[in-house]
Amino acid sequence: MKLVKTNRDKIIVQELLGRIAPPTLSSGSPSTTIYVTTWDGKAKLGIGSGGIKYNVKVGDSCFGWPETEYLEPGVAIAGIEERPGVGAAAGSATALYGLSCVGNEVQVLDGEGKGAKGLVTGKAGYTGGSHVTAYFSDEDLQKLTLGDRVRVRAEGVGLKIEGFDGGLFSVSPSFMESLGLELKNDELVVPVVKEVPAYAMGSGVGGSAALSGHWCIQSNPPELVEELGLETLRLGDLVACRDVLMYYGKGYYRGAVTVGIVAFGASDQAGHGPGVFAIASSKKGKIMPRIDPEANVVKYLGLRR
């Protein structure tokens, strides 16, 4: 094996502006109902998207949180001009979501928490009504308020690995280096907690480019969860999706391999579940997953639990 070489000295470093997003409900239609319908025909409130979570962090389980759908860990950040349920009002909101990368520094600009610093840990949803999630210490979380402005020191878009026949997305150079990536016979060796077959992938197929949006691992029916051992999935886990290509779009492609990070928690809606955003994808399957039960954002960012 040989250690990878990158172009990190050439990529752009720039500032992005956002704000701490309020909580939203999964139904997205308060004029008709605030409930969602589960795969087996039951009503569920569907909380967990947006806001500040004091007791849900990366590294926690995707399952077992009552009434939640798409549960996002830590602090959710939206575009400065974005309104809940409406989507991006301008290109700046799209840029916040598309250009933020795991491991980027986040600094609070307003309120009691002014000056507090955190790290980007994930990207949840599609551009427009989407969130960047960030980790802050327990002490700093108590000082934050919905609507506080934050800036992200964005670095990572355009990152490439010499000799790798595929793409990298949404990772900072420091986070990428922490993974200890190696090339073995032109295949990129990437640590993951598990592999997921294409037939388990649900909502998100046909979506836009890898920099934008997720693709759900279906968390229903229970038989599928048991078959694939999905009950052990944690927020922030790295997973390898077989015969899945997330590059210029999201779809089935035989032989392709995509590695992503679990951005949010399980769902009881048909076809939905923990959302994965891509960090590496190869149409020719030039990714070799290496199973590591501890392959989680917590480990690679050195976060305090």
Confidence of residue 158 (pLDDT cuts 50, 70, 90): very high
pLDDT at 212: 84
pLDDT above 50 for 12: yes
Name all domains of the chain by residue range, CATH numbers in brackets.
2-8+160-300 (2.102.30.10), 13-155 (2.40.10.170)
Average pLDDT estimate for 202-230: 93
Average pLDDT estimate for 138-165: 97
Residue 188 or residue 85, greater confidence:
188
What are the pLDDT digits (tens) for 45-99?
A: 999 999 999 999 999 999 999 999 999 999 999 988 765 554 444 567 788 999 9
Average pLDDT estimate for 103-129: 89
pLDDT above 60 for 30: no
pLDDT above 80 for 303: yes
Q: 110 to each of 20, 88, 139, 293, how far by Cα in Å?
A: 10, 22, 16, 38
Confidence of residue 6 (pLDDT cuts 50, 70, 90): very high
Question: Residues 231, 274, 107, CA angle at the centre, nearest 5°?
Answer: 120
